[in-house]
Structure 1
Amino acid sequence: MTHRIRLVFFICLTFFMSVPAPNAQARLFGEFSISDEAELGKKVHRLIRTRFDIIDDPEITDYIREIGQNLYKNAPPQPFPLQVEVINHNAVNAFATVAGYMAIFSGLILHMDSEDQLASIMAHELAHITQRHVARNIERSKVISVGSLLGLVAGALLGSDAGGAIAVGSIAGAQSAVLKYSREDEREADQVGLGYLIAAGYNPQAMTSAMQKMRRMQWFSGGEIPSYLSTHPGMDERVNYLSDRIERMDKNLLAREVDNSSFLRVQTLVRARYAEPSSALAYFREEKNQTCLTYLGQGIANARINRVSEARKNFEELISCDDSDPLFLREAGIFYFQFGDIDKSGRLLQKAIMLRPQESMALIYYGRILSEQGHFDTAASYLQRALRIVPEEPGAHEHLARIFGRSGNNFMAHIHMSYAHIYNNNKRQASFHREKARELAVDSEKKAVLISLEEAFRDQSQFWK
């Protein structure tokens, strides 16, 4: 596990530990309430978004969240909704935090073979949430208070990376019995998660096949442990008892087949967009049967390393393969925009939006095209539509700011430029544009707009270095 992964994992786990089971609240934390946990969850969520590169592409996140919701609806009633983020990092990892938050790493998506394998990991993490394992450990240990944990985490976040790692690591060492999942916790998460997996319509064998795949990854990599194994130990033992249980299940459950078309689609996009481009191209070249997804992957990867002629050929083949898929239209439109064919880009993006009005990336790029053509009001409306879908997309805020600046609305220009830098974690520029917006907030309407910016600045800046 890398330094940054270790840091955030322990911070998230530390936050999670600070939340007791409902029947322990009065004994351990006095007035600690569901609203307190909700506030902690927001802080953890904000922490993750400031420390990691979050994927906000709805094509990817909607798919992952749909799996999560399919599992979650089979859990007992919970005090919080399930909220899943996708982190752009090649670690084979996933973790759950307080108040129903879960994080899935792009590396996990790439290394699973099927949707049900991916769902099995998410089901296990969901079970850790619903069974409140760390909270129960806190109840038994009666060692750590919310105040001391928050103080330590705040100190780690406000200090240097190295200092933070030492601070959090020392706490983890001192309270190792509390921080770690016990064998009983892991067994329960496997069993409860397996129930969620089956109830959601997946093949139960996916849970053991996912674990076995991780073990093979360890062997083939010469002993380097995938991140998930280091934080969820005892994999061999767990595979054995799960296999015994699954073998005795109804044969109809074991014969279930899952449609992997959406999984392969998202996996292709993640590989092409976020994996190392040359390795992605090598992967796509090895595919024996050229499909629409192969052309998509090759086109994105070639464009990332400026192989323009190859990428253009890939996207021509892609649109010839299927000219009615919003994802294909979007990606081809983005390519042609980036490499200067604005008219063709506009036609493709407009068609993508017509077929899928919530296609935020197409909305952003089409807004940029309209802006370049001088249609500022219409361009602003497209970018505003995109921000209703992905409100923390810094690029959309930046382009909207430039449109407002060109049209003479300096107040809104500074508002959106400040948002852009807030979500890019650029303290100096975010502060500069916030001050400019403050100076221009001369009426009640502008002051109301400024309040939302101040809240976003405050929430994000508490975790800046």
Structure 2
Amino acid sequence: MKLFVVFKPWILCLLAISCYHSTTYAYDNLPSLGGNAFSELTPEKEKQLGDIMMRQTRGQLPMVYDPLMDEYINALGNKMVARANDVNFPFKFYWIQDKNINGFASLGGNIASHTGTIAIAESESEFASVISHEIAHVTQRHIARYVEARSQQAPLTLAGLLGAIVLATVNPEAGMAAIAATQGAAQQSAINFTRSNEQEADRIGMQVLAESGFDPYAVPDFFRKLTEKSRFVNQQLAFLQTHPLSQSRVSDTRLRAEQFTKRFVPDSQDFTLVQARVLARYHYDKQHSEALFLKKLGQPGGNTKANQYGLAIALLDNKKLAESQEIIEKLLLDDKHNLYYIDVYTDILIAQGKHQQSLDMLEKEYLLRPNNQVVTLNYANAAMSAKAYRLAIHLLKTLLFYKEDNILAYGMLIDAYQAMEDLPRLYEARANVSYQLANYPKAIDYIDEAINYLQPEEKLEARRLVAKKKQLQAEYSRIQRM
């Protein structure tokens, strides 16, 4: 299913490492949390603030909502979280569409990776090493401790906190020193604190990486590769600016890796397919991605299923449906329930106008995996294409019952209600999206619109929406008083 959401690409500079100036201006619409909110940042409060911040961030960054990629990164990340110590809350993992190599962590176990990181990784262990490093930043409470320290210097608002964390997280050398103080000693203290955090994250992250079944030697290998790569560009790579890399730190990771037994860790099929998907759809344009995979397939040892899958995506996106279908049908012969292949195949069927065939195929998969977001979203997409809007709404509402933050599902639900001219439900769905982006005033306005379009006999529905509005107002007020 080629359904993904990217918000405001121009605002990427807020978290891209090339941005050295203050970013607080981007968050001026956020509520104030008061001066005492962060003096003692308990895990419970950290999780609460992290959720609010991540919802706001989702409205500002070019985040990718691709269900296949979402399933992969969360499965990979939580596999390593299960091996980590000092885990105080559930973790969530996200993708940002950016060709730069980078990853970052925020409060409350929210971790994001640039699509460029998996695009350049030569193994799953290399990609996992970036994620495990960010997990360590969270479990060691580096960001939480930094926020506590900042709150003792001056009162913090959520807007100021976001600006501080953005700079401290993605630009430690320039950002933390600039925010901490104007005095040289204070600046140096901030820099040293960050370097210490990086060393601790290297140590803890490598242990988690190894215990999760990945190759710990991937850490120094990845550092070496990035260092060499940065020599041939005018500006330092984003990852190296985000995570300052001294020679001693490279040596430390190499020596630490030697404490583990060297072993060959094969890449999972999911990794190879997600990497191909990123290269085909998020890293190169349609014409270049087709040429890329044709070249890969022609190289010795390059005729892999992942490269065939990548070419099928590129052909589909270039509207070469018959050629794409031929590749995917061959792949499905060996693995008929593979969701990566089914995703592309059903898109081909929809593009060919074969809506019922697509619905029949996805219905069978839905009966096998009713709670899988990839299956459900593809099934709903096929239903929308077939103008079976009631079926689509049923599927999407069921998915949102247990995955209430799924932006794609809300977007499709809005389209379905709009097609049915169901204005009360349309505006409520829009309110839900605004809430997921932490835009409380807009969410409350949409609830008012939904109430206005209700029929006089819909008294119970009116009461429910009024109660929902009061709940949003109370939550917004509580955030402002924190």
TM-score for both structures, normalised by structure 1: 0.78
Matched, 1:102 2:111: yes
Q: Is the 8 A contact 1:319 1:328 kept in 2?
A: yes
Distance 1:416 1:173, change over 3 A: same
Q: Is the 8 A contact 1:120 1:193 kept in 2?
A: yes
The one-letter amino acid paired with 1:367 is: A
SS of match in other structure, 1:323? coil
- Residues 287-326 of structure 1 correspond to what in structure 2 (within 5 A)? 287=296, 288=299, 289-320=302-333, 322-326=335-339
Q: Which deviations, in whole Å up to 9, do the C-alpha atoms of 1:344-379 show, x marking residues without a partner?
A: 322333344344333434433433444565654433
Q: Is the 8 A contact 1:14 1:149 kept in 2?
A: no
Matched, 1:61 2:73: no
Higher-helix-fraction structure: 1
Matched, 1:234 2:234: no
Partner of 1:24: none
The one-letter amino acid paired with 1:272 is: A
Partner of 1:8: 15
Tell me the percent identity.
Answer: 23
CA distance in 2, matches of 1:217, 1:155: 30
The one-letter amino acid paired with 1:264 is: T
Q: Is the 8 A contact 2:428 2:446 kept in 1?
A: yes
**How far is 1:92 from its partner?**
0.7
Partner of 2:289: 280
Q: Which deviations, in whole Å up to 9, do the C-alpha atoms of 1:177-232 show, x marking residues without a partner?
A: 46545333222221122221222222210111111121232134x24322111011
Partner of 2:200: 188
CA distance in 1, matches of 2:195, 2:434: 44
Distance 1:291 1:30, change over 3 A: closer
Partner of 2:170: none
Aligned CA RMSD, in angstroms, stands at: 4.1
Partner of 1:48: 57
- Residues 24-39 of structure 1 correspond to what in structure 2 (within 5 A)? 33-39=42-48
| Corresponding residue to 2:83 among 74, 90, 100 | 74
- Residues 50-449 of structure 1 correspond to what in structure 2 (within 5 A)? 50-136=59-145, 144-145=153-154, 147-152=155-160, 171=179, 174=182, 176-177=187-188, 180=191, 181-220=193-232, 222-247=233-258, 249-250=259-260, 253-276=261-284, 277-287=286-296, 288=299, 289-320=302-333, 322-370=335-383, 373=386, 375-388=388-401, 390-401=403-414, 403-404=416-417, 409-419=422-432, 433-440=446-453, 443-449=459-465
CA distance in 2, matches of 1:376, 1:149: 43
Give structure 2 stretches of 5+ with no counterpart: 1-8, 25-35, 166-173
**How far is 1:37 from its partner?**
2.3
**How far is 1:293 from its partner?**
2.6
Distance 1:426 1:279, change over 3 A: farther
Distance 1:355 1:296, change over 3 A: farther
TM-score for both structures, normalised by structure 2: 0.75
SS of match in other structure, 1:284? helix
State the structure with bigger RCO (CA 8 A, min sep 6), 1 or 2: 2
The one-letter amino acid paired with 2:451 is: R
**How far is 1:425 from its partner?**
9.8
Q: How many residues align?
A: 434
Distance 1:186 1:403, change over 3 A: closer
